[in-house]
Structure 1
Amino acid sequence: MHGYYLPEKSNKELLGGFAGPLIIAEEYPVNLAASLNKLTVKNKKTGETYDLSQSNRMDLSYYPGRLEQTYELDDLTIHLALIFVSNRTALIQTTLENTGEEPLSLGASWTGAVFDKIQEGTETLDIGTRLTAKDNDIQVNFGEVRETWNYFATKDTKYTIHHADKVSTKIDNRNYTATAEPIELKPKQTYNTYTTESYTFTKEEEAKEQQQAPEYTKNAARYFKENKQRWQGYLDKTFDQKKTAEFPEYQNALVKSIETINTNWRSAAGAFKHDGIVPSMSYKWFIGMWAWDSWKADVATADFNPELAKNNMRALFDYQIQKDDTVRPQDAGAIIDAVFYNQDSARGGEGGNWNERNSKPPLAAWTVWHIYQETKDKEFLKEMYPKLVAYHNWWYTNRDHNKNGIAEYGSMVSDAHWQKDDKDQIIKDKNGQPKVDDDAVIEAAAWESGMDNATRFDKEGVGKGDVGVKVFENKNKGKVVGYSINQESVDLNAYLYAEKGYLASIAEELGKKEDYKNYQKEAKKLKKYIQENMFDEKTGFFYDLQINEDGSKTKLLVNRGKGTEGWLPLWAKVATKEQAAAVKKNMMNQEMFNTFMPFPTASKDNEKFAATKYWRGPVWLDQALFGVEALQNYDYTKEAKEMTQKLFLHAEGLMGEGPIHENYDPLTGKGLSTKNFSWSAAAYYLLYKNTLLSNNPTTQTAFEIK
């Protein structure tokens, strides 16, 4: 739950230590210090302190799973290496080597200054940190601070530095200096020492890591070896040397993808019952687990770290709504949008980021089936199958307004969806029932699609005959169980078609013959509806279908323009070959989707296209992946490879030293929004493995294209 940076070579004040640490204050990334454990070395004979900025050679490097620093001075080389040895503790090796011709008498000390305040906009928040020291340990103690939108800590939260060798420590307010015993080095002689740094949330975690610290330092060589083996294992599972020789220039991007996903790995803590992958540790609001974010990351992660992928699935399904749920029993089977360290007030927690206003697109079975393909773990299939079935069925009980077997995006019943007065009091109708806030429901429905501000969800609609986005109540036995918007979304129903395929494959694997037959039957009906009602012959593309209350009147929303949702029927294998050919033509059109960085979320010729506005134009790699696999499904392998290469070669910094971004400008390739984004990394991983090196998309195989 913490991490480090490499210092900049130009920042003299940080050389000799790993910058940070960055801690996760339960839900928020916070820098605890500029450099909390910085080494200073003094030549006791001359009285001079070695100036690391004047090194003859300085190397600051990030390797998979390891940070290293090397400073070569005239008669001394200093080497620092950092790895993680547990989900709470980092291990640092410090090596001093006498490279001169004369003996050296050295004094080594470590210094740090902890921040006691953080800046949030124009506000300064006092976080109440203070330093204590005992024996060879220095500890940062935290104050009890529960700031819902900025920072969480308790008095049990601790950050502990443990030195393997004896040090004497002096504390001056927020600063400390820990001084080692004198070090005598003959020419060519080397001295090694070790420290651990642990960040813990509870007394139990603190006690465990304190007990383990001497073990970590005593057997440091073994831990460094195991770390190297673990990361080499990830790489070995990724790279088949016979195939990768065809595209060696892409390997750097693949390693970066693995590093990005693993860096966003959060271990179980607080409300997280299992480990999982967050969207990005680099952004304040992304330190939670969203349903479809996690699932997309897991499809790639299953290839090199299947246990993490399994646990990430469990982390979301740990909070699947049950029939006896005390808050929303009407949503039994649903997977909520996002889980965080703290639950919300309705669940007895203090969190504000926990979200039960909506779900996310049904991609869970896709992920579970892919994990099974990698692991052949039938027990995992048995564990997940009934949960997947309950989630799949929920869409039809709570998001199918006219009960025609075609689902809509919508929202849960939630206090956040009631109208409020200027005193934040709920406004009620003449029957004493809360009045629905349509804008809030539409917002949640857009969130449920995952495409937060996509043009197809603009409330006002586009042009004559478009009534805009309306809200319908969904009832079960007269009771409101949720809300739908007035459009049957083509991507949602394509996902559900694909999910029936994955569920059919799982059912067949588990010997559930009746279930298998039922999914075949349901899929046949759904395919017919999508093919006949959601495709426009004139423009050669799929669109959402607007409906009225009883489903007696519909309007295909061609007028709202083309978006990435239009090729999801190809990804799901629900389109006819003729429809796919027409869609492919649009996808490869340079004035539509074949932009410099291909697959913008809104077609370039869409009147609301905006190249840098989140889901209104930028390239999102998940939708690009679905687009490439859509082409592969219909044997457009040449086009699939062409678009994939553009996605790699035209993304700013991807093939070099730049981070993987949340999305990209389709006209320039400039990285946009958050850096170090998990599902973008996962998409690049899958595109490399399944498109560049092979023709093996992740799409369902239970139902054939007809």
Structure 2
Amino acid sequence: MMNMNTKKSFLTVSITSALLLGCFSDSNNSNNEQSQPILASQFSNILDRSGTPNHLAEVGAGNHMAYTPLHDNGAWHGHLLPDLSQSNENTAGGFGTTIIAEEYNVSMAKYLEKPMIILDGKKADFTTKAYSIPGALIQKLTTQDGLVIDLTLRFVSDRSSLLETKVLNPTSQSLELSLSGQLVMGYYAKDGDAQSQPSLSEKLPDYTRTLNSDNVGNVVVDFGRERDSWYVRTTGESAFHITRSIPTITTLTDNAYTSIKRITGNETFYTVFTHTLTAQEWAKEKTVVDDILANPTTYLTASINRWETYLEKGLSNDSVAPEHERVAVKAIETLNGNWRSPAGVLDHHTVTPSVTARWFSGNLTWPWDTWKQAYAMAHFNPDVAMENIRAVFQYQVQEGDALRPWDQGFLLDVVGMNMGKPRAEAENRTEFNDAQTWNERDTKPSLASWAVWEVYSALKNEHQREAEAIAFLQEMYPKLVAYHNWWLTARDTNKNGIPEYGATFDTEHNVTAEEAAKPRDMHNNWNGLAINAMKYKYIKLGEDKWTYDAGIEGYNALLDSQNYVDIGSPAQTAASWESGRDDAAVFGFIDTIADAKSTEPMSITQAQQIDQLGRYAVKHGFDNSITVNEIVDGNGKLTYIAEYTNTTPENNDKLNLAKKEWQVKFAESKDTNGQIVGYSLKQESVDQASYWYSDNNYLAKIAQAIGFSDDALEFKAKAEKTKQYINQCMFDANSGFYYDISINSVSLSNGCAGEPLSHRGMGPEGWSPLFNGAATQENADAVVKNMLDINKFNTHVPLGTAALDSPAYGADIYWRGRVWVDQFYFGVRGMANYGYQAQANEYVARLFQNAEGLTADRPIQENYNPETGAVQGANNFSWSSAHLYMLYNGFIN
């Protein structure tokens, strides 16, 4: 590994030297000086960027894109190197291409601009080398006779990528150069198997792809309007342009093109690939494309230098092993790849969770992800870090909001280029008004000030941009305060200054007048129920179908009566989303006998393994013996359903004791006029309290930095009060761990809202006070002891989202077992904060060693199996990348 000081000197000298050297002969551009990548060239194939798509949706594990295309500069398309391992595919020299169709990333072309050369009437036989470096895809095609084609592809604007093609012809004979492209024809394949799926045109007849060419051979693919699919969305104006610096003779078929050019001697030419989402975007970008082709080396040099700067700034740790540095580069590539430029109703650049994950692409933006992404990117791409934060705050609810005026200061859970229908109707939007993912049902934990302070610190101390740093604090401070105050208005039902998690007053949670009046059918279950009442559903004891009802009083009363097999509420789901830990045990999520249902044969042992609540109830003397019945419905479909063998009232009473310990009641938050403004879980969460402690501390720092000293004193006082409350009320001395606490109808004599909910098991919320610095040393010692326990969190990949002995644990359960890198980071950072650096380092080493593919060329994953290290969840995941970069940048030594 090269020392970073050496790297920086080498970078400066090399770029200067490269600018002085003449480059390859370029008949299309007199400005031949082009710098060369120095740092980037040290990191080839950090990620496997090869793939030859044949279908619109080619997916692997989790139904996420099977490939990792190069995305960069916020552009809305990506490129792949050819998969040279597929011996039956002649794709060498071409670039597979994907487009981000608003909210989804899909394959567009098997290859574009695949070169072929005819010499003396024969097709030249090339040997191909293909590889990636940060910011570029590179191919080199050579023949035994010395004929060479060098291909370098980079992104040069927020809508366009640029391919440089250099043909070295030592024969000086006239050659026929052919450039071809082939669109994908299939609709869907998983793990390479099309599974008898229909063709793309059969499945999506409105998603037409019309190829056209102009009089100099440039190609455009115009896409038809498609709004209903959950795989691709287009406006009817979106297009993909292929624009070259040389004229060609182009022929087209329905799904392919071939462009011919005769050349003599050496030749360098350029191709610009541009994906625009609307006609207006293309009208704007066409001017950019013209400038790119007039000055191609200028744009390529800017791309090279941009990536050299990312690496120079980002690779700041001189004392790490090479595998740690390669993971850091992978994290930088992933975060920059998930960067999207403004589109639709979102005016700012942003960073999405994963460009290759089906539900996380487009420019979809979550606050919880943003805080972490911005914290990391502040060190190597601070402008995008700031923009990502601004994107979250663009739709912060203001006074007099058209849709939810009671939620002033609220940050929406998800925003993107298409607005949700309720808000679009309230704001009279006539376009970009039919989002499938926009979400106003909840927000996310309050680490915004933590992220803003890190961006400020990096701007000031690492990038020497102090004036901008202060301006950013001044810009964000009133927004952060409004967000902070919203928590107290909408999520503090017992008014003790410690906010809860909850859900908004929203049409997804509350019965609307239209739903109450409309007859019940498969799309509406709420006819005749009270307007604005909270929705819920349940399966009555002795039945197997859902009953739908509404009203918070009825919901809480049903929990007390225990007259249900299963129960659910959209507001409970949103409240768990608000925590950032969707189905965590602490929020009452545990698998029940209702989950022991399958169309595949299921043994009694398997059914009991699924029924976590029944196993838990054994502590109360419950007999969890199970019978598995085979049920055939009216269509002849066989289903295996588990039922308890002992259904006596006495046995049911023992099960009810267990249910009561896992039930989560709700409370309403109301304004001074008695209007419902939201719902809160009737428990105070220790992780939220810890983030609240940090939020107050960072707001105090920000206030002090911009001259609001009185505000700073107030925030410091609130932080100290929160710290005292956490340690007095949320720590259980018997088990040595922090837990959420219940909110009782009457507070305890010590001022606590209720008792620790230790019976739901240990989770990462328990080390949140250590990460945020709110724990006492004595309590932290006890927590770390549990974190190091081989029967709890000390696993193959440590620090899973539930302890091994948690009643709701499962190695493959989303937030009740899997290792999430953010919670892992919070854990090891918390350990180090309280003197356990050596143990934290050992855990970090184990993560790098045991997380599947992490130090190889596999994508960074959403989460990992704690027992095996197997990859789980979405690939190319931003917040995992952010925290791996944090481990590299400020932790590993």
Structure 2 contact 150–165 (Cα < 8 Å) conserved: yes
Mapping of residues 91-110 of structure 1, within 5 Å: 91-98=162-169, 102-110=171-179
Report the more deviating stretch, 449-458 or 549-558: 549-558
Q: Over residues 367-419 of structure 1, what are the superposed CA-to-partner deviations in whole Å (9 max), with x where a residue is unaligned?
A: 00000000131000000001001111111110111111121111001111136
Q: CA deviation at 1:551?
A: 4.5
Name the structure 1 match of 2:81.
6
Q: Give the counterpart letter for 2:757 in structure 1.
A: L
Among 255, 260, 265, the alignment partner of 2:334 is: 260
2:233 to 148, 152, 162: 152
**1:371 counterpart (446, 449, 455):** 455
Other-structure match for 2:819: 619
The one of 579, 582, 585 equivalent to 1:452 is 582
Which of 687, 691, 701 lines up with 1:491 in the alignment? 687
1:315–1:579: structure 2 CA closer, same or farther, 3 Å change rule? same
Percent identity (aligned): 39
Alignment counterpart, residue 273 of structure 1, candidates 342, 347, 355: 347
* Contact residue 473 and residue 484 of structure 1 kept, 8 A: yes
**Residues 467/237 of structure 1: CA separation in 2 closer, same or farther (3 Å cut):** closer
Hey, what's the Cα distance between the residues in 2 that align with 1:661 and 1:435?
Answer: 36
What is the deviation of 1:20? 2.9
**TM-fit CA distance, 1:84:** 0.6
Q: Does 1:469 align with 2:568?
A: no
1:683 and 1:668 map into 2 onto residues whose CA distance is 21
In 2, Cα distance between equivalents of 1:195 and 1:650? 42
* Alpha-carbon separation, structure 1, partners of 2:767 and 2:243: 55
Select 1:640's aligned residue among 820, 840, 854.
840
State whether residues 164 and 214 of structure 1, in contact with CA within 8 Å, keep that contact through their aligned partners in structure 2: no
Deviation string 1:476-532 (CA, Å, 9 cap, x unpaired) is 121100001111111011101111011011011111111111112111221111111
Please give the alpha-carbon distance, in whole angstroms, between the structure 2 residues aligned to 1:588 and 1:636.
Answer: 11
Q: For residues 474 and 658 of structure 1, do their structure 2 counterparts lie closer, same or farther at Cα, with a shift above 3 Å needed?
A: same
Deviation at 1:608, TM superposition (A): 2.0
Corresponding residue for residue 442 of structure 2:
358
Q: Does 1:184 align with 2:264?
A: yes
Q: TM-score, normalised by structure 1?
A: 0.93
| Structure 1 residue identity aligned to 2:768 | L
Corresponding residue of 1:405: 497
| Match of residue 721 from structure 2 | 525
Contact residue 428 and residue 434 of structure 1 kept, 8 A = no
Distance 2:758 2:666 in 1: 20
Cα distance in 2, alignment partners of residues 80 and 431 from structure 1: 65
SS of the residue corresponding to residue 555 of structure 1 reads: coil
Are 2:510 and 2:531, in contact at CA under 8 Å, matched by a contact in 1? no
CA distance in structure 2 between the aligned counterparts of 1:588 and 1:430, rounded to whole angstroms: 51
| Per-residue deviation, 1:467 | 5.7
507 and 606 in structure 1: CA distance in 2 versus 1, 3 angstrom threshold: same
Give the whole-Å Cα distance in 1 for the aligned partners of 2:318 and 2:735. 39
Structure 1 residue 426: Cα displacement: 6.4
Structure 1 letter corresponding to 2:341: S
Partner of 1:232: 308
Q: Greater CA deviation, 452-461 or 283-292?
A: 452-461
**CA deviation vs aligned residue, 1:106-128 (integer Å, no higher than 9, x gap):** 11111123347744996712311
CA distance in 2 between counterparts of 1:645 and 1:481 reads: 46
1:126-137 equivalent positions in 2, closer than 5 A: 126=205, 127-136=207-216, 137=218
Which residue is 1:674 aligned to? 874
Q: Tell me if the contact between 1:418 and 1:427 (Cα under 8 Å) persists in the aligned partners.
A: no
Tell me, yes or no, if the aligned pair for 1:660 and 1:677 is still in contact at 8 Å: yes
Q: Secondary structure at the match of 1:217?
A: helix
When normalised by structure 2's length, the TM-score is 0.74
| Post-superposition offset of 1:590 | 2.1
Deviation at 1:429, TM superposition (A): 7.0
2-structure distance, mates of 1:470, 1:150: 37
Report what 2:224 is aligned to: 143
1:150 Cα deviation after fit: 3.0
Tell me the amino acid that sits aligned with residue 470 of structure 1.
K
Q: Aligned partners of 2:715 and 2:288: how far apart in 1?
A: 51
SS of corresponding position for 2:716: helix
Matches within 5 A, 1:81-480: 81-98=152-169, 102-115=171-184, 118-119=187-188, 124-126=203-205, 127-136=207-216, 137-147=218-228, 149-180=230-261, 182-185=262-265, 190-240=266-316, 243-287=317-361, 288-348=364-424, 349-376=433-460, 377-418=469-510, 421-425=520-524, 427=526, 432-437=531-536, 439-458=569-588, 464=657, 466=661, 468-477=663-672, 478-480=674-676
CA distance, structure 2, for counterparts of residue 139 and residue 383 of structure 1? 42
- Partner residue, 1:588: 788
**How does 1:49-60 map onto structure 2 within 5 Å?**
49-52=123-126, 55=127, 58-60=128-130
Is the counterpart of residue 554 in structure 1 residue 754 in structure 2? Answer: yes
Report the alpha carbon displacement of residue 248 of structure 1 after superposing the two structures with TM: 3.0
**Separation of aligned partners in 2, 1:72 and 1:324:** 66
Structure 2: stretches of 5+ with no match in the other structure: 1-75, 190-194, 425-432, 461-468, 537-567, 591-612, 618-656
Q: CA deviation at 1:443?
A: 0.4
**DSSP 3-state at the match of 2:879:** helix
Distance between the aligned counterparts of 1:580 and 1:152, measured in 2?
50
Pairwise CA distance, 1:613? 1.6
One-letter amino acid of the counterpart of residue 158, structure 1: A
Structure 1, gaps ≥5 residues long? 694-706
Aligned residue among 567, 571, 579 for 2:767: 567
Matched, 1:37 2:117: no
Q: How far apart, in 1, do the equivalents of 2:375 and 2:384 lie?
A: 11
Q: Per the alignment, in what secondary structure is the counterpart of residue 390 of structure 2?
A: helix
**Per-residue displacement from partner, 1:256-312 (whole Å, max 9, x unpaired)?**
110010111110001221001101111111011111112111111000000000000
Evaluate the alpha carbon distance shift between residue 610 and residue 584 of structure 1 in structure 2; reply closer, same or farther with a 3 A threshold.
Answer: same
The alpha-carbon deviation at position 133 of structure 1 amounts to 0.7
Residue 659 (str. 1) matches residue 859 (str. 2): yes
Q: Which stretch of the first structure deviates more once superposed, 311-320 or 666-675?
A: 666-675
Cα displacement (A) at 1:423: 4.7
Contact 1:119 1:125 in 2 (8 A): no
Shift of 1:350: 0.6
- Distance in 2 of aligned mates of 1:537 and 1:104: 85
**Whole-angstrom distance in 2 between the partners of 1:571 and 1:400:** 23
What amino acid sits opposite 2:664 in the alignment? V
Contact 2:662–2:760 (CA under 8 A) maintained in structure 1: no
Conserved in 1, the CA contact under 8 Å of 2:589 and 2:808?
A: no
* Paired letter, 1:249: E
Q: 2:523 is aligned with what amino acid?
A: D
Partner of 1:543: 739
CA distance in 2, matches of 1:260, 1:276: 13
Give, as a single letter, the amino acid of the residue that structure 1 aligns with 2:579.
S
Check 1:581–1:86 CA distance in 2 against 1; reply closer, same or farther (3 A cut). same
The answer to whether the 8 A contact 1:280-1:676 is kept is yes
CA positional deviation for 1:614: 1.4
**Higher-Rg member (1/2):** 2
Residue 430 of structure 1 and its aligned partner are, at CA, apart by: 7.3
RMSD over aligned Cα, in angstroms? 2.0
Give the distance between the partners of 1:411 and 1:10, measured in 2 at CA: 50
CA shift, 1:433, in A, is 4.0
Counterpart secondary structure, 1:194: strand
